[in-house]
Amino acid sequence: MRLELPHDQWAELREPDEIPRKAARKFRKVLYRIAAPAADVDQGLTSEAQAAEVGRAMLSSDDGMDGVEDLAEAMVLAAVSEWSYGSVCGEVMDDMPDHAVDAIYASCQARGYIEKLMPDFGPSMDEDSPTTPSSH
């Protein structure tokens, strides 16, 4: 999918299922790193209160806002197959205008890339899988 960016620039986005495993793993590594402080949030809270506590825990961690920016950058590098700025790499992205990177990340969020890149830890319906649901 071609995403038109300001100033006659563009980015070509991969479909989530076309993202290379290495790039998806880099994204998840950042996500797990910034989500780790939220593991101790009280599970008995309402979903709204729990979400607020998770946000506070993540933002008050050592990574804080840097982690959120790292996550956005990992998503952009995973999703973009090519762009008008040159090679798709961190060095080139560092020289891009913030608004272009923000537009790519916002498009990824709107298209559900975060959810689609998360591994499925649920039981498998495959009889040969070690996570097959129990019949008991």
> How does pLDDT run across 8-56, given as a tens digit for each residue?
999 999 999 999 999 999 999 988 887 777 666 667 666 677 667 666 7
> Is residue 116 classed as helix, strand or coil in its secondary structure?
helix
Give me the torsion for CA of 105, 110, 114, 119, rounded to 10°: -150
Residue 75 has what pLDDT? 94
29 near 70, Cβ under 8 Å? no
pTM for this structure? Answer: 0.73
pLDDT at 68: 78
Cα–Cα distances in angstroms (integers) from residue 62 to residues 33, 36, 74, in the given order:
10, 11, 19
